[in-house]
Amino acid sequence: MPTTAAPSQLAVADALTALLRDTTTEPRPDIQLEALALAVAADLPVLLWGEPGIGKTAALTQLAASLDLPLTTVIASVHEPSDFSGLPVVGDDPAEHGIPMAPPDWAVRLVRAGRGLLFLDELSTAPPAVQAALLRLVLERRIGSLQLPPGVRIVAAANPRSSAADGWELSPPLANRFVHLQWAHDHEVVVRGLGGTWPRTTLPRLDPDRLPEAVEFARRAVCGLLAARPTLVHRLPTTETRRGGAWPTPRSWDMTLNLVAFSVAAGSSRDVLSLLVRGTVGDGPGLELLASLDRMDLPDPEDLLADPAGAVLPERGDLRQATLDGVVAAVRARPDQERWDAAWALLVRALETGAPDLVVVPATTLAALRREDWDVPAAVEHLAGVVSLSRRADRASERVARVEAKAGR
């Protein structure tokens, strides 16, 4: 009887390796992946910043598989500038036809496929000459005489200069063409992934009925902020390191406007929007935009004064404080007895439904607006104790500060 040959040790090793690689995915909330997917949907170049070995390449591989996009990886640091600007090819009659710039093979494959995810890895180890050659690829999607199709998305990855091999800072023109996302590992995701289940990335679902609203909201938000803060339109950082990240220019504000619109249409969370806008125009301008978005959602002070009994005040403390300040400002702008009384009724409602300390400053300011012929409304009695207690606390704090100052002499 013939005997079956025992499998070789390499075959057994291959079988074990296959079992280790047999993993699955599950839907799991992940603001990093959601922000990345939203920027990819908006067709904006994304740059993932993170220390080596935390999963940037794995995230891109999984993203391409989830979106059913062929992944093309190009290690920027091992290429010459001509690999991105095109290789000169001399034809039969250069004087008549010129010398065309032939694209590399990977670009030709992307054009033939008509779609794909182009992954530019190790961007921070690319020398300045290569970074300069990448400018046209990232912004115009052109390589030599070849135009990449609209179905191609661009994502890059980089390590901070301190942990990159022979790293360079990104040049300001190249850095300003990306949405910068800081990539960090999540302990629970890593543990569950090593156990065989990784999170699944999906493109955000855009609500077709909200598209006009999303565009109008984004334009109103960005234009409103820049009209009030014109110095934010263009602000070149003073240090080389910060110039290699996110900072505000008309180009990056245009990207921000697009991302705000996509976030509204997709119903994304504030955390996702925060990652995107701070990764486009920087932390300072991004946080100012987020604060202005909050104020856009505040109720109209005139509506609140018209119906104080039915007023719905924001739950968040900072938004409630801003709303009450707006009501007092509206009374100051157009003072009369009826509006003054309505403002007091709103403060009482705020006292009954929220933190008492939020009404102290508006109540003090509102009291200072009283005219001699205005009767004090009964609602003031509900607030007198809170304001008095706050003033006593302030005086006690001042006394403690004076005692500590004398003790320190």
Give me the CATH number covering residue 172: 3.40.50.300
406 to 42, 392, 395, 409: CA distances (angstroms): 61, 21, 17, 5
- Section 26-41 average pLDDT: 88
Model confidence over 79-112: pLDDT tens digits? 888 878 777 776 666 666 666 777 888 888 999 9
Q: Is the pLDDT of residue 396 over 60?
A: no
Listing DSSP states for 131-165 in one string gives HHHHHHHHHH-EETTEEPPTEEEEEEEE--GGGST
78 and 131 inside one domain: yes
Q: What is the pLDDT of residue 92?
A: 62
CA angle 34, 217, 248 (to 5 degrees): 70
316 and 396 inside one domain: yes
30 and 175 inside one domain: yes
Model confidence over 296-318: pLDDT tens digits? 778 888 888 998 888 888 888 87
Q: Is the pLDDT of residue 1 over 60?
A: no
Q: What is the pLDDT of residue 393?
A: 37
Q: pLDDT band for position 120 (50/70/90)?
A: very high
54 and 168 inside one domain: yes
pTM listed for this prediction: 0.75
Distance from the Cα of residue 95 to its chain's centroid: 50
Cβ proximity of 193 and 98 under 8 Å: no
Domain annotation covers residue 176: yes
Domain annotation covers residue 247: yes
User: CB-side exposure of 61: number of CA atoms within 13 Å?
Assistant: 6
Domain annotation covers residue 110: yes
β-partners of residue 151 are: 115
Q: What is the pLDDT of residue 202?
A: 73
Q: Is the pLDDT of residue 184 over 90?
A: no
- Section 34-52 average pLDDT: 92
- Scanning the structure block, which residue is given the tokens 């912004």? 139
- Section 37-54 average pLDDT: 91
Q: Helix (H, G, I), strand (E, B), or coil: what is residue 384?
A: helix
245 and 280 inside one domain: yes
Q: Is the pLDDT of residue 394 over 50?
A: no
User: At which of 200, 220, 235 does a domain end?
Assistant: 200
Q: pLDDT band for position 222 (50/70/90)?
A: very high
Q: What is the pLDDT of residue 207?
A: 93
Q: pLDDT band for position 199 (50/70/90)?
A: confident
Q: What is the pLDDT of residue 90?
A: 65
Q: What is the pLDDT of residue 68?
A: 86
**Whole-angstrom distance, CA of residue 30 vs CA of residue 27:** 9
User: At which of 178, 200, 222 does a domain end?
Assistant: 200
Domain annotation covers residue 94: no
Q: Considering the chain, what is the average pLDDT of its residues?
A: 84
Lowest mean pLDDT of 8-12, 62-66, 244-248, 284-288, name the range. Answer: 62-66
- Section 369-373 average pLDDT: 85
- Section 348-372 average pLDDT: 83
Domain annotation covers residue 2: no
38 and 157 inside one domain: yes
Model confidence over 129-149: pLDDT tens digits? 888 889 889 988 988 778 899
32 and 107 inside one domain: yes
Which range marks the domain in which residue 396 is found? 301-407
**Whole-angstrom distance, CA of residue 334 vs CA of residue 329:** 9
Lowest mean pLDDT of 59-63, 158-162, 257-261, 368-372, name the range. Answer: 158-162
Q: What is the pLDDT of residue 98?
A: 64
Q: Is the pLDDT of residue 397 over 50?
A: no
Q: pLDDT band for position 19 (50/70/90)?
A: very high
**Whole-angstrom distance, CA of residue 96 vs CA of residue 264:** 53
Distance from the Cα of residue 269 to its chain's centroid: 10
Q: pLDDT band for position 210 (50/70/90)?
A: very high
Q: pLDDT band for position 196 (50/70/90)?
A: confident
Domain annotation covers residue 9: no
φ, ψ dihedrals at 234, nearest 5°: -145, 120
- Section 153-166 average pLDDT: 77
User: At which of 200, 232, 248 does a domain end?
Assistant: 200
The contacts of residue 259 (CB under 8 Å, 6+ apart) are 38, 39, 42, 44, 179, 273, 276, 277, 280
Q: What is the pLDDT of residue 186?
A: 83
- Section 48-61 average pLDDT: 84
37 and 165 inside one domain: yes
Q: Is the pLDDT of residue 32 over 50?
A: yes
213 and 348 inside one domain: no
242 and 314 inside one domain: no
37 and 176 inside one domain: yes
Q: Is the pLDDT of residue 226 over 50?
A: yes
Dihedral sign computed on CA atoms, order 157, 290, 255, 81: negative
The total domain count for the chain is: 3
Q: What is the pLDDT of residue 374?
A: 84
Q: What is the pLDDT of residue 389?
A: 40
135 and 226 inside one domain: no
Domain annotation covers residue 169: yes
Q: What is the pLDDT of residue 391?
A: 46
User: Percent of the chain beyond pLDDT 70?
Assistant: 87
Domain annotation covers residue 15: no
Model confidence over 318-340: pLDDT tens digits? 788 888 888 888 899 998 989 98
